[in-house]
Amino acid sequence: MPAPNLQMLDRAFKAVRLGTARDIQRVQRRVQQDGLIERDEQVQFELSGLAEEFFAWQLVEVSFTTVFVNATGQRDSAFARPHVSVGAELYTSTPVSITATVMGWKTNERDETLGAKVALGVASSDLATKFRGAVHLTFQGYGQPLNTFDDQELLT
């Protein structure tokens, strides 16, 4: 068996690397041109105080860095607004309930979703409980970043 030609092998590896890099750049350019893909927007609010038997609510406004569009005809989801997932984390040892619910959406004249009005709620059992924690919200939908730049703008 003849010895491998190291120069040919080296050129072949370089071609594979260059081809892969070009493929990645092509996909990035397409995403940048379209801008519209499935995106997540995550926020977290720190909470502390006294949780009691009935929920106490606080209204907050969330502004997205993503513009979510109603693209039910272009994706598998039938949702006109972003899907919302809620989670909570406690920094204290006694369990309390921390939750959030969307009360309304901030939209523009094209009915694109730019943010949400969210009610944060905290409750305990029949005993008042001091707590410290956070609520985590993930908004997932079809959208694009508010600030999109093309490569030429970034280089100048």
For residue 96, what pLDDT is reported? 96
Q: Could you identify the residue written with the tokens 């006294």?
A: 50
Q: Can you tell me the distance from the alpha carbon of 156 to that of 149, in angstroms, rounded to the nearest whole number?
A: 11
d(CA 24, CA 29): 9
Give the distance, in angstroms, between the CA of residue 6 and the centroid of all CA atoms in the same chain. Answer: 47
Q: What is the rounded distance in angstroms from the CA atom of residue 36 to the CA atom of residue 94? A: 43
When pLDDT is averaged across residues 44-56 and rounded to a whole number, the result is 95
Query: For residue range 16-27, what is the model confidence (pLDDT) as tens digits?
Result: 666 677 777 776
pLDDT for the residue 76: 64
Q: What percent of the chain has pLDDT over 70?
A: 74
Q: How big is the chain by its Cα radius of gyration, in Å?
A: 24
**Phi and psi angles of residue 24, each rounded to the nearest 5 degrees, phi first:** -65, -45
Gap between the Cα atoms of 105 and 138, Å rounded? 14
pLDDT at 132: 97
pLDDT in the model for residue 1: 64
Distance CA 43, CA 115 (A): 11
pLDDT at residue 11 tops 80: no
DSSP state letter for 149: -
Q: Kindly report the pTM of this predicted structure.
A: 0.69
Does the pLDDT value for residue 29 go beyond 70? Answer: no
Residue 34 clears pLDDT 80, i.e. is over it: no
